[in-house]
Amino acid sequence: MRYGYFDTENDEYVIDRVDLPTSWTNYLGVEDMCAVLNHTAGGYLFYKSPEYHRITRFRGNAIPMDRPGDYVYIRDREDGDYFSISWQPVGKPLDEARYICRHGLSTTTYECDYRGIHAGQKMSIPIGDNVLVWDVTVRNDSKRVRELDVFSYAEFSFHHVPIDNQNFQMSLYCAGSEYKDGAIIYDLYYEEEGYQYFTANFEPDGYECLRDNFIGTYNTETNPKAVIEGRCRGQGQKGGNHCAVLQKSLSLLPGQSARLIYFLGEGALKQSQDIREKYKDPAALDRAYQELKNFWKNKQDRFKVSSGEAGIDTMINTWTLYQSEINVMFSRFASFIEVGGRTGLGYRDTAQDAMTVIATNPEGCKKRIVELLRALTTKGYGIHLFEPRWFMPEDEKEKKKKPFKSPTVIPEPEGASKVHGLSDACADDALWLVPSITEYVRETGCYDFLDEKYGYADGGEGTVYEHMKRIVSFSLEQVGDHGICKGLRADWNDCLNLGGGESTLVSFLLYRALVCLSELALFLGRDDDRMSFDKELKRLKSFFNDTLWDGKWFIRGITHNGRKIGSAENEEGKIHLESNAWAVLSGAADEDKARTTLDSVYEYLYTPYGILLNAPAYTKPDDDIGFITRVYPGLKENSSIFSHPNPWVWSAECTMGNGDRAFEYYRSLCPYYQNDIIETRHAEPYSYCQFISGKDHSAYGEAHHPFMTGSGGWSYFAVTHYMLGIRPGFDELIVDPCIPARWDGFNVKRYFRGDVYDITVENPAHVQKGVKEIYLDDTMVDKINIAGDGRQHSVRVVMG
Ligand code: GLC
């Protein structure tokens, strides 16, 4: 069953059946302000931090779902009938009204046709402005004059998510609202600069600042009292709950339409006036749409594939790129799942995100890499969850600002520090950063970056290269009783209890980090370093292949009681994905073991919806193995199809030349191919979800937690770098595809260090991997050297 379709021409996903089984989301904004919106205009808005600077309120995990939101009600003065432009909150029967939602790149549009009125509401956050714009059009498609009242509605939040949800004897008295010169000004009085405004491009005929006046104590957003009555009371107040309602009366002749533009922004009266002035002429807004379009087009033009396989082209050129970029911009905590209850950056997630879209977003990825470098301790481990500002050299303005302090006393232990000790360090966190930095310098050619100096979280400073060396030294020291890397607080899998135990995954991640450093040292001519990295690599390779091999695959780890995890000798959780993917992807596994282990993954973990994280599922709580055994079978880390590590396996298959299998895996997980089975998938088909219920769960195949997951980035990276095989070398562009044998080839236009390469890959012999000939501008070459002339060059690669 399908609920919509991909409109590739306009880079939109069009939901033409809006009674979806769950919310389908979009993220608006590409700078500091972000709106998370669903297909019925439910969601929330924040500025910089979803936890500390929440502008509109959201009631997470509530019924009806995803309320409140950014609503526009239209009421017919003749008979008092009303509807909302988005299907919810009024929710007219779908056989009486026609609704559409178009999620696009940084815009979402709601449309409704109801009783001769066509209405549209386009949402966006223009580049350079901290304002959410609602661009509303109301058109009279009927044959008589229509007398209408249009009401906007958004509910303000008390900014800090904790304050918004508790201790109402304080919170209810911290915020005030007033109406002035066409704008509603909201003030969080506890804060120094706690203002927001709501205004429009017209003079309103009524307004309301008080939520309960508008909705009514016994009503909901579905049937607000003021809309039923057709009039607002027009009040603001110090204290209480506040909202943004502007009322506009329209009289529309047949065929006539009105464009009402609303602005929900950061700042007070002055900012509201400035924004009104700026967008006085709606053409200014049309230009802002074009700027947003160009913003994304510039990125899309940096890597554009045409393979003839719609599930690759549509996802890589648009949706997976978009998902990966949004993760780099806003990280993980702004969603309907996290509800902004946390803020900041997770070390491991961010370190991986920052590697995936360097070609399309070098500045954004560098910013993240620098934040991670500053959050590294001198010992070489990262601060697991941190806010970048903790470790930033303060700027003068920030220093002068009084920090917000809640009047509610929440005692903090004396000496509490942002820098946690070893007992809270996750063994994998910083190891992800080494390949990301290597990727960054290869992509950009900015090798000077390696000698730039940055501070450590616990004091002192060092070059980027020194930071990298500390990371591997730390992991080389942190070994357990069996000589393999400790898991510390956790490795990538948060639910395996490897504290005190040892982790095969971390061991292979260390191997990969050492490979990166060794290659870097070779390129930079740092011979002593290279020799010492290579010595370790040699030692670890033979040691890992002996110690970690289980017969048909690699074990996942060893608990602090010395029990193996992920071994044939276990009854449950016999085989795990992560260690086997990385055994191959890191280059550590001997060739025969690499092949056997990948075959085992295929045999024991592959399902039609993707690869299980482990199997068989754990069914009995066992705290030696960890929390994973207290998660229901088939959910989350316990034998679900956890999306994030799936592309690790696709990539590993590509290193072994198995293009058919890599694509089969890609197809199984890729949401694009599940557009027609939404009765099973439930979630949106344009973004990867954190996990899909595994075969031991009654909801097998149902996808959960869209958008904010590392699976977008990793999928993008695996397809571009391993399947299409186009990746940056130190001083060359590498084209080394691994594709299904049936493919005749493909084309990629790729920007690289100032030039554009128009790459045509031909596969006349129908192989999966192997490059026979390379032509650069029609001349046969061994490798693609960087032209560096800022022009377009043609590359022809013949596989065979
Ligand atoms: C979540 C976390 C991520 C972790 C994964 C597996 O996605 O954000 O850090 O690696 O779960 O436990």
What's the whole-model pTM score? Answer: 0.98
How big, in percent rounded to 5, are the helix, strand and coil portions of the chain?
30, 30, 40
Closest-CA residue to 550 (of 539, 565, 537): 565
What are the DSSP calls for 632-689, one per residue?
A: PTTSTTTTSEESTTHHHHHHHHHHTT-HHHHHHHHHHH-GGGGTT-HHHH-S-SSS-E
User: Can you give the three-state secondary structure of 272-291, one letter per residue?
Assistant: HHHHHHHCCCCHHHHHHHHH
**One-letter amino acid identity for 225?**
K
pLDDT single digits (tens) 527-582: 999 999 999 999 999 999 999 999 999 999 999 999 999 999 999 999 999 999 99
Poorest-confidence range of 357-361, 493-497, 628-632?
493-497
- Return the pLDDT at 403: 64
Closest-CA residue to 101 (of 116, 120, 79): 120
**Cis amide linkage into residue 89, ω under 30° from 0:** yes
**One-letter amino acid identity for 240?**
G
pLDDT single digits (tens) 718-729: 999 999 999 999
pLDDT single digits (tens) 148-170: 999 999 999 999 998 899 889 99
CB neighbour class for 437 (10 Å; exposed up to 12, middle 13-18, buried from 19):
buried
Closest-CA residue to 264 (of 249, 279, 252, 250): 279
Cα–Cα distance for residue pair 714/710, rounded to 1 Å: 6
**Cα angle value 473/478/481 (rounded, 5°):** 140
Q: Half-sphere exposure of 375 toward its Cβ, with a 13 Å CA cutoff?
A: 28
Structure tokens at 452: 């730039």
Structure tokens at 757: 């390469």
The predicted model gives 255-269 an average pLDDT of 98
Instruction: Grade residue 750 by pLDDT with cuts at 50, 70 and 90.
Output: very high
Residue with CA closest to ligand 1 atom 8? 349
Q: Which residues line ligand 1 (CB under 6 A)?
A: 332, 346, 348-349, 492-495, 637, 690
pLDDT single digits (tens) 329-387: 999 899 999 887 788 999 999 999 999 999 999 999 999 999 999 999 999 999 999 99
Mutate which of 337, 353, 384, 492 for ligand 1? The one with the most ligand atoms within 8 Å of its CB, which is 492
> In this structure, which long-range contacts are made by residues 211-217, counting pairs with CB atoms below 8 Å and at least 24 apart in sequence?
211/155, 211/240, 211/241, 211/242, 211/243, 212/240, 212/241, 214/153, 214/243, 214/245, 215/243
Structure tokens at 673: 């191919």
- Return the pLDDT at 396: 67
Closest-CA residue to 696 (of 618, 622, 587, 775): 618
pLDDT at 413 over 90: no
Given a contact cutoff of 8 angstroms between Cβ atoms, the answer to whether 95 and 87 are in contact is: no
pLDDT single digits (tens) 228-251: 999 999 999 999 999 999 999 999
Given a contact cutoff of 8 angstroms between Cβ atoms, the answer to whether 573 and 605 are in contact is: no
Cα–Cα distance for residue pair 222/63, rounded to 1 Å: 12
Distance (Å) from CA 46 to ligand 1 centroid: 24
pLDDT at 129 over 90: yes
- Return the pLDDT at 162: 87
Closest-CA residue to 322 (of 641, 11, 7): 11
Closest-CA residue to 351 (of 435, 419, 476): 435
Distance (Å) from CA 492 to ligand 1 centroid: 6
Distance (Å) from CA 181 to ligand 1 centroid: 48
Cα–Cα distance for residue pair 793/712, rounded to 1 Å: 30
CB neighbour list of residue 241: distance below 8 Å, 6 or more residues apart:
155, 156, 172, 210, 211, 212
Residue with CA closest to ligand 1 atom 5? 493
Distance (Å) from CA 185 to ligand 1 centroid: 40
If you average pLDDT over every residue of the chain, what do you get? 96
The predicted model gives 307-324 an average pLDDT of 98
Ligand 1 atom closest to the CA of 709, numbered from 1: 7
Cα–Cα distance for residue pair 185/198, rounded to 1 Å: 7
